[in-house]
Structure 1
Amino acid sequence: MPNRIRGISVFILCAILVLLLRLAQIQLLEPESFGKHHINLLEESVKQRAQEFLLDDGRGEFYDKNGRALTGTKVPSLVLFPFLKDMDWDVEALAEILNVTPEEIEAAVRTAEKPIVFGRPLTEEEMEKINRLKIPGAFAVYKETDGKDTIAAQLIGVIGENGKLFRERYPDRSGSAKTPVGLTGLQKGFDEFLIPDENSRLVFHVDGKGDPLFGLHVRYISPANPYTPLKAIMTIDGEIQREAERIADLHKMKKGGIVLLDIETNSVLALVSRPNLDRANPFSGDGSKNFPVEAQIPGSVFKTVIAAAAIEEGIVPPDRQFDCDRPITGEGEAERKLGVLDFPASFAQSCNYTFAQLAKELAEKDKNLIEKYAERLGLLEPVGWRGDVFRLPDFRQLPDEEGGRVFLNDEERRDKNFAALTGIGQKNVRITPLAAANMMAAIARGGEKKQVRFVSEIRYADGSTMFSFPEQRMAGENISPDTAKALQKLLRGVVEKEKGTGSALNRLPAAVAGKSGTAETNRYAGEKQLLNKWFVGYFPYEKPKYALAVVNLEVFADEGSVLPIFADMVKYLHGKGS
């Protein structure tokens, strides 16, 4: 009997000890990250006895170069709490300020189970009048919008609640499964800076039935740190971005993009990707992709690389002629007969035979030459800004950006047929529209290639600067200034010459230099092959200010010309006087 009592006592003591340890775990050790699901018990306990209305998730926001908010716009709003339905309050005075009937307000409150936003956005005067009424449960506050109308949507990127990802990225940081994290685009790249410390909300304590506790006191809770949330100041101009998106939609761009760079600062002024992002299902369909930073088949745009290599390697003397009635193999007749052309005319009219032949000669001279010049023009590595930022080594502004390529392996480098097709931007050649625009900017500058900035600086909440992203050169060699000058003349010839593939752009208010491209893809609609159509260039030719790339992906041969889009952008920017 004593042994039995002793055993029961030990069991009870062990059970009490386990309970005490569990209680310590809940209340002392892991109150903000409990169990395998890392539940924030403090937050959950508050939810059980409070009604909350989120005003701002506390995440840092993006602004355009002129300081206009691109995400998280704050709208003056009227918030009504549902306990108003059980009170006598001055609904008539509120209705008079809003110019609505009292019945409309009462109906909204009567059906509400949680705090709601009522009516249209308020004016500053209306906000002051409403808050002077001091109605418990009726507050005029600034409410963050849902971002449905955000421009440059794919560039800025998507955020979402992902507790597992949050814990992987920030194991030493407090937060919950509902803390928004950057999943794509700049939101992903700048997540370390934008992740919220605390949100802003209205909190009202209730009992189990939802009735008020502690009188009718609603608390406003906001971050205590005056320096957060941080602001990411982008290089894009919101006005230009909106117009670029309008032009893309006007010309019914279904799949593709537009990239506009400021040549002097090598910064993105506008970046459009189509189709639009579906915010209800952000990872479904092509709207989830940012096509300007994805590597595409460039077609004849890549002839710019072959031209640069041929000039520097001295294989195109002024008197050299090419039979452009011949196909790229050199045997038989080409589908598009252009006659006998010199090198500048071959470039202007985009003669495939010329550049297939030159590519083979370059490969015979050195199998790595084509890739060498692609690298010198900045087409192989991602071109977005990267560098050390505080404790973040090799920080990339846009981690989703892809690099380019010329060949897949050494066998392809040694194959003459591969070299010929590579010379006209086919086979395994891939470049991004962003890199193509950056190549044009480098040529316009005299050959110097630079990294592309999307964000110029990070600011504290009070407007002071936390970090400025300097202009930076891209690593590696450049083409020579003489080669750049020769390329400038070739690119101008594409537009200026009567039979140039860009001659439709010759009567614009600003002189354009550039290169067209029509690339065959391995995709078909029925029996019709789909093509990628490009035009990349810069303007004004005499004093270059803008580099522009326009690409329409997977269109039929008789549709989707990008020249009208390019032309409309040139006309808009010239008319803008910027």
Structure 2
Amino acid sequence: MWRRRALGWLFICITSLVLLLVRLMQIQLIETKTFSKHNVNLLEESVKQRTQELVIDNGRGNFLDRNGVMLTHKKVAVLVLFPFLKKMDWEAKKVSEISGISEDVLKIAVEGAKKPFAFGDPQPVELTSSQMERINGLKIPGVFAIEKKFERSEVPAEQLIGLTGENPKELKNRYPNKDLSEKTLLGVSGLEESFDEFLLPEGKSKLVYHVDGSGGPLFGIDVKYVDPANPFYPVNVRTTLDKNLQQKAEGLVERYQIKKGGLVLLDIEDNSVLAMVSRPSINKKDPYSGGGITNMMVKQQIVGSVFKTVVAAAAIDENFDDPTRFFDCSKKINGKPELKYNYGMLDFVTSFSRSCNRTFGELAKELQKTNPHILEDYAAKLSLTGSVGWKGDVYHTSDFKQFADEDKGRVFLSDEARKDANFAAMSGIGQHEVRVTPIAVANMMATIARGGKKEAVRAVSKIEYKNGTTMVDFPEQSIKGDTISPYTAMKLQKLLREVVLNPNGTGRWFKDLPYEVAGKSGTAETGKYEDGKQLHNKWFAGYFPYQNPKYVLVAANLDVVDSEGGVNLLFADMVKMLYEKNHSNEE
């Protein structure tokens, strides 16, 4: 009996020791970097227990503007001090003389420090290259002058670039075959999301020193620089944005109190985004509240009379633009008397410049009789439907999209609406089911300005390795499908210019601008009300200079009452700003 009991205990002990050994092997040898369901890196965590560190660069890729300026972060030359200095007699006076920071202030900062820190953080004192060189020349242990990466408090084009965040579940779902720390930042919107796989960190750059249980130096005062040692990472995503233009555009949107809406500025030559502003702004404390995380410039909006450009293109090709024909613009689209916008009898060109609803409602109905799909066909030819952002195969990713959250435009939702004359008339003036994105409207204007050449819109020109060589190029790209003819484009160009030149045109406010502008206005009823008042989307979309087109600008103010919230001043000031910038550069 006692032998059986002893054997039983022996078996239990041996089994327990084997299980313990297996567990230790799992921890020490097998799952050192991905322990437990949380993928804890045990090596990193054990090092953390006996070290203190200052992260210089988190290792995630960077966004640059077209001139190479960092957008989301900035590198600042800072003074770094380690807490073990409090136990030493160090040359604070010399550091003070070089940096211009009071000796007493330096010593007080060190005395209160438990970890290494950049002096003055979160608003660090910035050093010159000369100061950096002289401080490092002192070779004081625990005193360094380095360039550290800081996140900008105000990020330009924040909705376009997007946000990052920690999400272990999404991380595992998105990258099941990668060994990544749970704390790895993920792109959750905008370009941060689109380019996330390229931006993932290889590791952090940091200054490290070993400490004992009391926080004192364990192996003397030797500080080590730890770096992933990969000359290619982190990568830089070079956007097509101009940081200076972007900041000025955001300033103007704020000045004119655009609470919902924004603007898109394109470079016509390479069809790239120079500036993009979306409102409301992102609430940094709660990004998903208030709609700020949404980039309104790539989302469907009711466009109103800007859509008359599509009807005009179809009318030109179908020979419905007879200059001898007059339309009764004293009547509304439904035939009732027009009291507010009674323009009398107008021809086709004047109807466009004054934005007569009756004319384009009638034309839309007549065009629909020839082909129920004609409005959709011409909207597609002018790149208003479908997506307009750059897309293609990049490495192993097929159908890669620069604008991951871009909506597609539409004209009709059903075949019944497509064949209904009244719905066709409403669609002809950009109401009913017509929805387009501001970026697509900008691309329509660029297509017309280029004589019918239809191209995809880029926000990124290339991805560069850390050493400056190109990793991925995003060349100019044509959009597939039919487009308007050069003749039709020329006729549309004249119509858009007449909107500004006509003394009663809806764009007459832009006649005396330093650049000659061509464009189209739009005021759409949204179906929403505030205090019993109908809300509107207000637009102006155009390009300039007229004779030698360089820029496309679309300004939109969404969900505002009819008597407020125009975009003319915003559009005009953007044109003036661009003119002044270009001519000051010439001087």
For normalisation by structure 1, the TM-score amounts to: 0.97
Please state whether the residue corresponding to 2:389 is helix, strand or coil: coil
Stretch deviating more after TM superposition (160-169 or 183-192): 160-169
Please state whether the residue corresponding to 2:151 is helix, strand or coil: coil
Distance 2:501 2:338 in 1: 28
**Which amino acid in 2 is paired with 1:390?**
Y
- Note the C-alpha offset of 1:128: 1.6
The equivalent residue for 2:223 is 218
**Which amino acid in 2 is paired with 1:407?**
F
- Superposed CA deviations along residues 524-570 of structure 1, whole A, max 9, x for unmatched, are 22112221110001111111111111111122212221111111111
**Which amino acid in 1 is paired with 2:245?**
I
Please state whether the residue corresponding to 2:73 is helix, strand or coil: coil
1:446 to 451, 454, 471: 451
Distance 1:160 1:132 in 2: 39
- Note the C-alpha offset of 1:334: 4.9
**Which amino acid in 2 is paired with 1:12?**
C
The equivalent residue for 1:402 is 407
Is residue 280 of structure 2 the alignment partner of residue 275 of structure 1?
yes
Aligned residue pairs, count: 578
- Superposed CA deviations along residues 404-428 of structure 1, whole A, max 9, x for unmatched, are 1112222222222222221111122
- Superposed CA deviations along residues 10-30 of structure 1, whole A, max 9, x for unmatched, are 222222222222222222222
The equivalent residue for 1:7 is 8
Moved over 4 A (4+): none
The equivalent residue for 2:505 is 500
Q: How does 1:394-473 map to 2 (within 5 A)?
A: 394-473=399-478
- Superposed CA deviations along residues 411-470 of structure 1, whole A, max 9, x for unmatched, are 222222222221111122111111101100000111121001111111111111222211
2:530 to 525, 539, 544: 525
Stretch deviating more after TM superposition (249-258 or 432-441): 249-258
**Which amino acid in 1 is paired with 2:177?**
D
Distance 1:110 1:450 in 2: 61
2:486 to 481, 489, 492: 481
- Whether the aligned pair in 2 keeps the contact of 1:268 and 1:452 (CA below 8 Å) is yes
Stretch deviating more after TM superposition (369-378 or 251-260): 251-260
Is residue 579 of structure 2 the alignment partner of residue 577 of structure 1?
no
Q: How does 1:217-366 map to 2 (within 5 A)?
A: 217-366=222-371
- Whether the aligned pair in 2 keeps the contact of 1:422 and 1:428 (CA below 8 Å) is yes
Please state whether the residue corresponding to 1:145 is helix, strand or coil: strand
Please state whether the residue corresponding to 2:457 is helix, strand or coil: coil
Unaligned runs of 5+ in 1: none
The equivalent residue for 2:55 is 54
Please state whether the residue corresponding to 1:574 is helix, strand or coil: helix
Is residue 75 of structure 2 the alignment partner of residue 74 of structure 1?
yes
For normalisation by structure 2, the TM-score amounts to: 0.95
The equivalent residue for 1:111 is 112
- Whether the aligned pair in 2 keeps the contact of 1:148 and 1:279 (CA below 8 Å) is no
The equivalent residue for 1:555 is 560
Aligned-pair identity in percent equals 53
Distance 1:281 1:147 in 2: 18
Distance 1:254 1:500 in 2: 27
- Note the C-alpha offset of 1:168: 2.0
Please state whether the residue corresponding to 1:548 is helix, strand or coil: strand
Distance 1:551 1:478 in 2: 25
**Which amino acid in 2 is paired with 1:405?**
R
Distance 1:527 1:202 in 2: 61
Q: How does 1:92-241 map to 2 (within 5 A)?
A: 92-119=93-120, 120-241=125-246
- Superposed CA deviations along residues 162-185 of structure 1, whole A, max 9, x for unmatched, are 222222222222321122221111
**Which amino acid in 2 is paired with 1:4?**
R
- Note the C-alpha offset of 1:369: 1.5
2:381 to 360, 376, 388: 376
- Note the C-alpha offset of 1:332: 4.1
The equivalent residue for 1:86 is 87
Distance 2:470 2:306 in 1: 40
Stretch deviating more after TM superposition (484-493 or 30-39): 30-39
- Whether the aligned pair in 2 keeps the contact of 1:324 and 1:334 (CA below 8 Å) is no
- Note the C-alpha offset of 1:326: 1.0
Distance 1:570 1:390 in 2: 39
Please state whether the residue corresponding to 1:286 is helix, strand or coil: coil
Distance 1:171 1:10 in 2: 40
2:542 to 516, 525, 537: 537
1:392 to 1:370, Cα distance in 2 relative to 1, 3 A: same
Unaligned runs of 5+ in 2: none
RMSD: 1.6
- Whether the aligned pair in 1 keeps the contact of 2:39 and 2:180 (CA below 8 Å) is no
- Note the C-alpha offset of 1:281: 3.4
- Whether the aligned pair in 2 keeps the contact of 1:78 and 1:118 (CA below 8 Å) is yes
- Superposed CA deviations along residues 216-238 of structure 1, whole A, max 9, x for unmatched, are 11111112111111111111222
1:470 to 1:511, Cα distance in 2 relative to 1, 3 A: same
The equivalent residue for 1:21 is 22
